[in-house]
Structure 1
Amino acid sequence: DEVVKLFEEKFLLIHIITTNVDDAHKLFTVLNDRGMTLTEGELLKAYTIGLCDNSTQCIAQISSDWDIILQHPPKKVSDFLRWIIIMISGENVTTSSVLQKYKESYFPEKTSPIDISNKVKFMRICVERLQYISEGEWPYDESHVTTNWHKGKLDLLIRKLKHTHAMPVLLAASFTHEKEFQNLVNETCKFFIRYKAISALHASIFSSLYPALAQEIHQLKDRFTIKLVYPKFNEILCSKDPDNNYFITGIRNLRYQRKGDNKLLKCLLVTIEENWQWLNSGSTSCESRLKLEDKTRVFDFNNTTLEHLYPYSVGENEREENVEKIKNTIGNIVILDMTRNTKNDDKSFSQKKDNFINTGIGIHQYILEKTEWNEQDINELTERYIGYACKVFSFK
């Protein structure tokens, strides 16, 4: 009697009848037996199994693949599913419309159990790759083709620059030849650094550019080459910044910050250095730039420092007020390894100049030609950097 009384007083049973599967799914998005909202992944799992009737073998495989997918945190699963359907559909899909898009484009009601099983298996493979890529980790097995330089570019793009808009494109490219994946990561780094990070142009362009590009790469698979991407990047730059004005202004506005990571300054100067041979080769093509790019040195962000040519801290007797105002601009800065930078400390230009000998860094040859470092020299180096950057960060 006490047990019956407890149930009568403490529990409420609601019986709701739905007439179709869609209504049932809508109901499940509101409540389930745990009193929590169901995720897109859980709903898709139920939906795909529901389409399989009594095909026991297919249901077992589908359930197994979904279990692997759903072992990741819900937020990650939500992102993964959205990036996958963007790649497949070629359309920008919002978080709220992911479930409906899968049902319309990928799992229509008349899909056979075998096809559903194969499609869920492909999703599981995509999730496994996205788990690597989203952490900035290389999605291919170890090979002699890929070096730490290539891996560093992916880490830069995803973890440091946090350019997750590109995830559907990177996912699609991970099914192509590894060499083309390398090229895509590298050139997408350049495009993002120029277009968004430095030029500060609106990110909405990624929502129209990347979905269609991801779908095209996905359909081409091993037939994809980086040549497909260049005209697309170039078209956007010609449309949004035809005279390089936004890019040039962005470069001029870069400032060294003593307590900052100075990420954009390092990105710009390191990329120029990596392409130093190409800049001095007389070639202008993107293909030759890729071939000549120096991939033998990995500029670790933590150990690559920024050196002030006119010192950051200057004694009162040596201060030049006109230079003090511009000492943190790009024209007064070069990249330098940590050991040499530490030796330079806050020495004057003439005292530190010998530390730029035999560094292997191209711009240092220009610095060694100078006998002093003043406002005019800073302005000249600024223009030189701008000229280099407009060549290196182009896709013509």
Structure 2
Amino acid sequence: MMNLKQIFAAMLISAIAFTGCRKANLDVDTSSNDGSALGEISGVWAKGSTQIIKGDVIIPEGKSLTIEEGVTVLMDTLAKPEFIVRGNLYSLGTAENPVKFTVNDAYKTPAKKFGKMWGGILAAPTCSELVLDHTILEYGGNTTSDASTSVKQGLYKATAGENLPALWFSNVNGKLIVVNCTVRNFQEDCTYIEGGKIIFANNIFYTTGVTGGEAMNFKSGCLADVGFNMVYSTNTNALKLSNSGDRTPQAYIIAYNNTMINTGWRRPSAKGGSIWVENTVHVDLYNNLFANTRFGIKRDTKAPEDKRSVISNNLYFGYDQTTVNQFQPSNDIVAGVNDIISNKAGDNDPKFVNYPESTPVLNPDFDLTWDFHLQAGSPALGKGKTNFTRHHAAGITVNGITYTSPEPANYIGAFGTK
């Protein structure tokens, strides 16, 4: 039988052990390599580690989480966690060792190509800084319920039955950097942005949207530079640009040197297309390449874009006549200055290095061997506009690092020659 001193010693050891478990499971002990998380998280997730997310996690207001290169953030497919950011998040992968928000490989089947196996990264208005650099987001977009933390906390659309985006950001005074990232296999929107100083550059979006959803969805309060992104076969638009929400400042989006392929065809409605503009959004659209997309730049005729908007030097290609016919300029299909557009199928072939232009437009599956660089003789070469002003050419400083929006190229699209 233990004496009183031994009992107290055992209780102390148990208390220490419990505190250690609590630290590992709730705050994620940043001194360890691998871990699991449920509840509040902050600190640093170490390079190359695997963090298993057992349920909804929250970065508290006033705290930050830094995710180092090569970290795998593995979502429990039964819990379908939401990743809520009330403080700040810095996901800092590299080209060789990206950060990955994902699920176990066993669940990545054709039947689950549109994810729905975890929620998304949801940044509350108290999040002042968020960086995703060389980060992969995949197989998420779960549908909310009354039990969802985001619904209980009044985040995103704060109602049950909403399909979560891969990323929601909502601080008009905040700073948002999304660069060198891949977003794929999501149920609906990839991003839904309601304010901030923003750079989206060198990202790729594909296999997203069952019945709706955009790659990049910007609302009022956004001052965004959006350049050198590749979007393939989103259900709806590659870019939805709107001043809805009555936030200040007025949404002003400068989108340039983006490549869009086969976007919009899987949503048979007026909004399915390439770039949608509405509600007095101020847009400058330069050097964008539309290949086999549904429509081109399309406006809401009842609530059009700001009259100061500038559109020029974009290129349109359609493999067949049906595609060509529906991006011809009209009251709702917006033509720009120095755009390269014809009324004949096959004209303006961008001459991609490796992409079969006969690929069915309803195909959502992306082949990683495709190469959208341009071959010599492409009509997109040398036709880009470079003498325009970007919001963030001088840079946005986040967590001590200055990110600048890339300089425009003298070619059209996201990729020049190899």
- TM-score of the superposition, structure 1-length normalised? 0.29
Higher relative contact order (CA 8 A, sep 6+): 1
Q: Relative to total residues, which structure has the larger helix share, 1 or 2?
A: 1
Larger radius of gyration: 1
Provide TM-score, normalisation by structure 2. 0.27
Greater fraction strand: 2
